Structure 1
Amino acid sequence: MAAASGSFDVETATRAYLDTLEGPAREQSDAYFEGGYWLIPLGTLVSVLIDWIFLRFRIAHAFRRLGERLSKRLWIVTWVTAALYTVVGFVMALPWSIYTGFFREKQYGLLDQSFGAWFAESLTGFAISLVMMPLVIVAIYALIRRAPKNWWLWATGVLGIFLMVAMVLGPVFISPLFNDYDEMEQGPLRDKIVDIAGKYDIPADHIYVFDQSKQHKRISANVSGLGPTIRISLNDNLLERTSEPEILAVMGHEMGHYKLRHIWVNFGVIMLLLALGLFITSRAAPWLISRYGGRWGVRDLADPASLPVLAICIAVFFFFATPVTNTLIRVNESQADAFGLEAAREPDGFAKVAMRLSEYRKIEPGALEEALFFDHPSGATRVRMAMQWKQDNVENPQVVVPEQGYLDAE
């Protein structure tokens, strides 16, 4: 990395980084990310279409009938219906999942797995869903039967409990099904990370590295878990592809999520959205069933065969809520960026990381485009924030002109 002196100007310093992504690399990054805009409505359409097939051809009705032949207990009938719905739904969605999760990622060079390895992980995720989803659905239908007027409120609480349990158990039991997690090796780099954490009273007894390079080359780190299982993890790509200032910048960002209690902030907002979505569903689903339930073989809302109706309502609600969820995450990420810059004090390391993320994230979107489709600040926004921090906090700051090709050099 080479440096050029002169009076420091935030826009000039920002431009010096942004201009290192150009030509085919920039075109591919923009094409990949912009193509993702269409995946949002198309994914919702696929989900709704599958649920419509369950209803139109009375498949959900047949699942419930099978459950009634197996048992007179309502919870068993619901469990059978939900389990079969989960299995058949997975199979029906498989072509879409294979295209979006495998072929499209391979097309843009963002996946290093073979199809067999990718599909094995998909089956693992499906197995987890097959355990959890029927339990959640059984609980929701029990509430619909016992509290037909305000079941949506009780269901929000039950889903919150399931979500909290998943957050606690995820790092210990679920994530290791996909990657190996090991303690970060002792050494100067870990010592610097621990020192940064110590300044903010952030527990750093356990810092984990996971082998995500077997899946792709994207750099990432995260804060996961809840209570006794909360931890900071970074993938091996971050260690192998980036410099020490970049690693410290990323770890400062992740510590920001912990210190700013974003896990709880996100949990609270998700609960509010779930409550609203379930409330709307509690009004829309009975109306749909009253009009079309006869041809679908659905008796009423308490009938487990109504499961695709609920799924359609929820899918449509969260489609329209996408800008809200994106904004929630983006605001939290921006706050963590600001914290990380102050904690690590590595503005150029932060800028380089922001540029590396352009492998799969459009670097310079329009303002409305970023507000609607970005769940993280864009690279341009992040680099500009870093350069503004540099101007405000570094004595005699210099404009850094990165060497061409530095994104692939490390």
Structure 2
Amino acid sequence: MARILLFIFAVLLIAGLPAEMALAQNAAPAFDVEQASRAYIDTLQGADLEKSNQYFEGGYWLILWGALVAILVDLLILQSRLSARFRDWAERVTVRKWLQPALYALPYVIAGFLFTLPWTIYTDFFRERQYGLMSQNFGSWFGEQMIGLAISLVVFPLLIMAIFAVIRRAPKTWWIWGTGVISIFLFIGLLLGPVFISPLFNDYSEMAEGPLRDRIVAMAAEYDIPADNIYVFDQSKQHKRISANVSGVGPTIRVSLNDNLLERTDPAEVAAVMGHEMGHYVLGHSWRTVLILALIVAIGLFIVARLAPQLIERHGAKWGIGSIADPAAIPLLSLILTVYFLAATPAINSLIRINESEADRFGLDTAKEPDGFAKVAMRLSEYRKIEPGPVEEMLFFDHPSGATRVRMSMQWKADHVENPVMVNPGKLEKE
């Protein structure tokens, strides 16, 4: 279940696009949207195209294998009666029922981290380095994994303690109240994440004064987005992906750009990216995402509330579990949720993709940089398949594909730019 919580936070923290762009060169006598789009899309060819496709398509299998690894780990913890031992330890430490689930969560999180560590090392370190997407050495990467573990050891016990409190007090309707508990934790994550979590992984500094900052401030002011502080963070130490976001809630709202965005792109591209990110804020995507995710979580907890008691009745004696209110049942709840979230992956991807598409349109209207936006999409193709089939895009893409974004940019250009001209962007340089 710790992995489920981190996954949900991760979904919420998905803030936007990365970026890069193209220099206009040759004007065509007539502007054809498809021809203009192909001029960008076809810049990705040969070995670069094959590498991008292989990396992204391999990720489809990682979704399945990652879920299977999580399921096997929870089964191991159940079948070996480690879960019962964790529960017994918590009961020896304290007789307070409300505190026992939180204590149980400590060894459970550590065991889950250790059991899945080989898989995590392969998928998040070696595979990233294999495709040239990782800037860190193993020591730096592992240090960040330990920071993530420390965060889990604080957040997950608190969440588990709250959920088991509602299970004890409302055994028939706990899944409803549990959804509310998770929603509160998600809100707290949105509120505190930019201030207390993000700085644990990156250094944030004020963006230097200048025309680019002035343009970002002006764009933000147009939509009443607080932009007193615009931060640049040093994500190049981790990877070369381009990123920016408008994060936080209320007093913690902030505009942030990573250093890759400033170093690898020009001002038109930065404006395109920031227009997109501001779209998420103005269109209320964080709140919409929380509400829809709450619905998805509610369905998952309802399924858990129906299946878990039946499985405990059948196998509980073997596992050392007395009831669903027993903290030792946590791996079983996690296992069911893992299967459910795997099945819900297309729906979650579609939720995010719809938000991203809306933010794309907003960004085009705000920044008015269609060619910058098109090259942004092409730079993302370094690690995202550029032209998937429609079913493939629906199932596996949590953002619109690069081809979809380029065509949207060129259509916007045809509709809004007087006397639009064709651009020959040339081959994206390797950096």
Pick one of 263, 267, 287 that aligns with 2:290.
267
Query: Equivalents in 2 of 1:185, 1:10: separation in Å?
Result: 37
SS of the residue 1:75 aligns to: coil
Query: Equivalents in 1 of 2:186, 2:101: separation in Å?
Result: 21
Native 8 Å contact 2:246 2:256 kept in 1? yes
1:285 aligns with 308
Query: Equivalents in 1 of 2:207, 2:329: separation in Å?
Result: 49
Pick one of 170, 187, 192 that aligns with 1:147.
170
Query: Equivalents in 2 of 1:325, 1:207: separation in Å?
Result: 30
Q: Alpha-carbon deviation of 1:5? A: 1.6
Query: Equivalents in 2 of 1:288, 1:353: separation in Å?
Result: 49
1:340 aligns with 363
Query: Equivalents in 1 of 2:92, 2:211: separation in Å?
Result: 65
Deviation track 1:50-75 (CA, whole Å, cap 9, x = no partner) reads 00001111110111111222222112
1:380 aligns with 403
Deviation track 1:72-122 (CA, whole Å, cap 9, x = no partner) reads 211232222111101111111101111111000000000010000000000
2:35 aligns with 12
2:190 aligns with 167
SS of the residue 1:4 aligns to: coil
Query: Equivalents in 1 of 2:26, 2:153: separation in Å?
Result: 55
1:244 aligns with 267
The 5-angstrom pairing of residues 284-363 of structure 1 reads 284-363=307-386
Query: Equivalents in 2 of 1:45, 1:117: separation in Å?
Result: 28
How many residue pairs are counted as aligned between the two chains? 408
Query: Equivalents in 1 of 2:244, 2:232: separation in Å?
Result: 9
Query: Equivalents in 2 of 1:333, 1:3: separation in Å?
Result: 31
Query: Equivalents in 2 of 1:116, 1:100: separation in Å?
Result: 16
Query: Equivalents in 2 of 1:243, 1:375: separation in Å?
Result: 26
Q: Alpha-carbon deviation of 1:143? A: 1.1
Tell me whether 1:67 sits opposite 2:90 in the alignment: yes
Q: Give unmatched runs, 5+ long, in structure 2.
A: 1-22
Q: Alpha-carbon deviation of 1:4? A: 3.2
The runs of at least 4 aligned residues of structure 1 exceeding 6 Å deviation read none
Q: Alpha-carbon deviation of 1:339? A: 0.5
Letter in 2 for 1:199: E
Q: Alpha-carbon deviation of 1:197? A: 2.1
Tell me whether 1:38 sits opposite 2:71 in the alignment: no
Q: Give unmatched runs, 5+ long, in structure 1.
A: none
TM-score, with length taken from structure 2 = 0.93
2:161 aligns with 138
Letter in 1 for 2:44: L
Query: Equivalents in 1 of 2:94, 2:430: separation in Å?
Result: 61
Native 8 Å contact 1:3 1:402 kept in 2? no
Query: Equivalents in 2 of 1:338, 1:330: separation in Å?
Result: 12
Identify which range, 58-67 or 377-386, moves more after superposition. 58-67
Query: Equivalents in 2 of 1:256, 1:363: separation in Å?
Result: 23
Query: Equivalents in 1 of 2:424, 2:159: separation in Å?
Result: 53
Q: Alpha-carbon deviation of 1:325? A: 0.7
**Higher relative contact order, chain-length normalized (CA < 8 Å, sep 6+):** 2
Query: Equivalents in 1 of 2:356, 2:271: separation in Å?
Result: 16
Query: Equivalents in 2 of 1:54, 1:198: separation in Å?
Result: 53
Query: Equivalents in 1 of 2:387, 2:125: separation in Å?
Result: 26
Letter in 1 for 2:227: A
1:225 aligns with 248
2:128 aligns with 105
2:430 aligns with 408
The 5-angstrom pairing of residues 360-371 of structure 1 reads 360-371=383-394
